[in-house]
Amino acid sequence: MKPVSERPLVGVVSDRRMVDIHPFHMVGEKYLRGVWDGAEAYPVALPSLGEDFEVLELLGRLDGLLLTGSPSNVEPHHYNGPPSETGTWHDPERDRNTLALIPAALAAGLPLLAICRGFQEMNVAFGGTLHQKVHEVSGYHNHKEDPNDPIDVQYGPAHEVFFTKDGLLQSLSGEDSATVNSLHAQGVDRLGDGLAVEARADDGLIEAFVVRDAPGFNLSVQWHPEWRVRENPFYLSLFQAFGEACRSYKQRGR
């Protein structure tokens, strides 16, 4: 494992959540572990403090950006979608942060890895739209976890994804497909402009994409490769590629 002094600095977006009567800025430990153990980079949480906090000013200090998953959904007005069902969890402060960070980070060539909600944010940032409940859309399977299952089952192998020929995922894995976990209700409806599909599930649902003409490393996936990252060679390969890109970015002087 690399010492802290040699590790690039990866910004990890935070959720803003109410705990009792107090707002907290939260990042799941599994994402921090994914960066530390998988990418061998130093994770730092980026708060979502609202309009008076200019998160873009932090980009010049970072060597990579991780967009995490979250129980909250992107507010549908960002993609001209129908109103969410009553009780849907939203996080407008996070939406503000990520939808500003994404184009700025990519334009700067900052390496970017997006997971689950982050994958959906990436699609919205490029003008794409989302299914709010994939399992209710004709032709698609249920991609949600069963919350009554033990956590190892929830994050266990769920279905296969099939890689685009000669794409990034095929290159990283050396395979044509992989079995991944699946813990999401939302999914890509219309793919955003300039995005290239990297993987699909057997029902045709887009499970991974890249920004085609971005100058730096970027990958967005619908599954959760951060889960016990060092125990799964495929998941680990994604974080290792992200970490190598972050180190190269740091060595070039940002």
Q: Catalytic residue positions?
A: 116, 224, 226
H helical segments located in 58-205: 92-107, 117-125, 151-154, 168-173
Q: Give every CB contact of residue 65 below 8 A, 6+ residues apart in sequence.
A: 10, 11, 13, 59, 101, 105, 110, 111, 112, 113
Cα gap 168→150, rounded to integer Å: 32
Q: Do the bridges between strand 130-131 and strand 218-221 make them parallel or antiparallel, or are there none, so unpaired?
A: unpaired
Give the residue among 118, 89, 116 at the shortest CA–CA distance from 105: 118
- Of the chain, the end-to-end C-alpha distance in Å amounts to 23
Cα separation of 204 and 106, whole Å?
27
The span from the CA of 99 to the CA of 247, in Å, is 25
User: What CA–CA distance (Å, rounded) separates 92 from 16?
Assistant: 9
Closest CA to 15 of 78, 102, 73: 73
* Residue 121 · residue 65 · CB < 8 Å: no
